[in-house]
A and B are shown apart, each in its own frame.
Chain A
Amino acid sequence: MSDTPPPARRRLPLTWLGLAPFALFVALFLIAPTMKIVLGAFQRADGSFTFENIAGLFTDSILSSYWISIKISVASAALGCLVGFLMAAAMVLGGLPRSIRSPLLTFSGVASNFAGVPLAFAFLATLGPLGLVTVALKTHLGINLRVYGFNILSFWGLTITYLFFQIPLMILIITPALDGLKREWREAASCLGASGAQYWRMVALPILFPSILGTFALLFANAFGAVATAIALTGSSLNIVPIMLFAQIRGDVLGNPHLGYAMAFGMILITGVANVLYIVLRMRSERWLK
């Protein structure tokens, strides 16, 4: 009886020890660097506490870079959700052969991972001044994209490029949700006299809404943090937050190291809020889709 407690006491620390390598790694290479940035955003060069850096963000050039970033992220997330939803719905509910499903999902897996520098090149080769589509439209249809004010190194150019990884991500996330729509719901709705449009408006969309909105938040964060595609595509001609932060880390272009911390902190804040939204909405949507 008396020798039961010692083994229990000996085992407790050993159990925790199994998690130590992971905890140490995460603390050193994920948490500590992030905390360094967050704390640095509220410090002067001498280490004293201040709100000056945060206040320093509210200048025209930095605010406008945040604004452009947010606009591009919202546009590419919204369009990504819309197109991805339509494609997934066509695949799941459109009465197409099931054999297209697996290749399409595999391709979505590839495309959602094909980001960064190569993606920017692919779009330069297509919609750039000498790109495949630009030239084809000009020679065959007489449409000069330049005349319509389209330029790949612009807001819309970047948005269209981001869609290449946004749409597949939406397809990958929303397909299980669409699979979860039960046939009985549709039948029950039509028994009660609902038209197809009414079924969508009053049954299917309200059920899917949390998933769609949650994915929107995820896509938003995804676009907001994208650095490589933007740099390879536009160089430094478009002032979005990741490009500005990249230049700041390389050469302190803002002339104040702690302003860089504050910019990075602003990025974490925005992607963090978007992701919390995603998690909350995801939990809501899982209530229905079991």
Chain B
Amino acid sequence: MKRAAAWAILLLGMAYFILPLLGMVEFSLSMKRGIYSLEAYRVVLADPRFRETFSFSVGMALLTIAVGMAIVVPTAFWVRLKMPGLRPYVEFVTLLPLVIPAIVIVFGYIRLYNTSSVLPLTGTIFGTNLLLVFGYVTLSLPYMYRAVDTGLRTIDVATLTEAAQSLGAGWGTILARVILPNVLVSVLSGAFVTFAIVMGEFTMAALLNRPAFGPYLQLMGANRAYEPFALATIAFVITWACMGLIQLVTRFSKHDKAAR
């Protein structure tokens, strides 16, 4: 009885999640009347705007991961090693982007870094791209910091650092060759979440007027019948792949530890 009720609740719940995905895939396949075909995907993949925006967003995502990790890994390491008392405060700051909506942050960027300001980042395309990367880093800060910090918790930072120092390593060597390999799994999980977030992001890119995948999706949705659903399916597969990769690296590392 209890088990039947539990199954019923779960199946009903799953139906709610599966139906929209089915609807989306079904629509994306029905561009040709009467039969299922991959026509919508063909049209989308042949669209030069798709290639441009998609590769733009991939580039932005990779830059965001690089810049974000360059900021987060040394900071989390330093806080754990030298200033453990500050950890709650730093963590609080990294969680702020969950509190302040992205639209408000980018509104601030537009007003703060416009052409008449001290730092006119929005004046040039390069500057605007840079601002967008910084915005994405800010958005992914909560996920990256938490991932890296959790990774650092599982290793003995102080001992590793002292061992490396007594062998003559400088801070750069310690970070790159001792700490980073040890928290690589956490860094990768943070990177995959960041990748998924950046690929689907709409608000910042739209308001900064950059040709990213999110605004392109929205534009297609307003103008085309079947292509948006093919694009949405692609976006879902990307999200799914990122989450799957996180599971994979986590599981891989567990095997790694069990073997020793």
Contacts and interface: CB of A to CB of B under 8 A. Distances in A.
17 contacts: A22-B72, A22-B74, A29-B109, A32-B108, A33-B108, A40-B111, A90-B5, A96-B7, A96-B10, A113-B197, A117-B200, A117-B214, A121-B231, A126-B19, A167-B13, A246-B203, A264-B107
Given A96-B6, A242-B103, A163 B74 contact: no
Interface in B201-252: 201-203, 206-207, 214, 217-218, 221-222, 228-229, 231-232, 235-236, 239-240, 242-244, 246-247
Q: Which 10 pairs from chain A and chain B are nearest by CB? A: A33-B108, A94-B6, A225-B101, A126-B23, A132-B23, A228-B202, A118-B232, A90-B6, A125-B23, A18-B78
Contact of B200 (A34, A100, A104, A115): A115
A38 to B, nearest CB: 9
A21 B71 contact: yes
Given A22-B71, A120-B221, A122-B23, A260 B9 contact: no
B102 A272 contact: no
A227 B203 contact: yes
B99 A125 contact: no
Contacts of A141: none
Given A117-B218, A235-B222, A249-B107, 18 more contacts: A21-B71, A29-B109, A32-B108, A33-B105, A33-B107, A109-B243, A109-B246, A113-B197, A114-B239, A116-B200, A117-B221, A118-B236, A121-B232, A126-B23, A224-B101, A232-B218, A246-B203, A250-B207
What does DSSP make chain A's interface, helix, strand, loop or mixed? Answer: helix
Contacts of A115: 200
Interface string A219-244: 00100110110011001000000100
Number of contact residues on B: which range applies? 35 or more
B26 A94 contact: no
A63 interface: no
Nearest to A86: B9
B138 interface: yes
A25 interface: yes
Contacts of B141: 30
Contacts of B86: 19
Interface in A5-62: 15, 18-19, 21-22, 25-26, 28-30, 32-37, 40
B103 A264 contact: yes
B132 to A, nearest CB: 11
Interface in B71-130: 71-72, 74-75, 78-79, 82-83, 86, 90, 93, 96-112
A116 to B, nearest CB: 5
A123 interface: yes
Interface in B49-77: 71-72, 74-75
Interface in B172-219: 193, 196-197, 200-203, 206-207, 214, 217-218
Most chain A beta-carbon neighbours within 10 Å: one of B21, B97, B103: B103
Given A30-B138, A37-B108, A246-B203, A121 B24 contact: yes
A111 interface: yes
Contacts of B33: none
A109 B189 CA distance: 12
B152 interface: no
A1 B244 CA distance: 59
Contacts of B228: 121
A133 B100 contact: no
Contacts of B236: 114, 118, 122
A95 B82 CA distance: 47
Given A87-B9, A117-B218, A235-B222, A227 B108 contact: no
B137 A271 contact: no
A131 B17 CA distance: 15
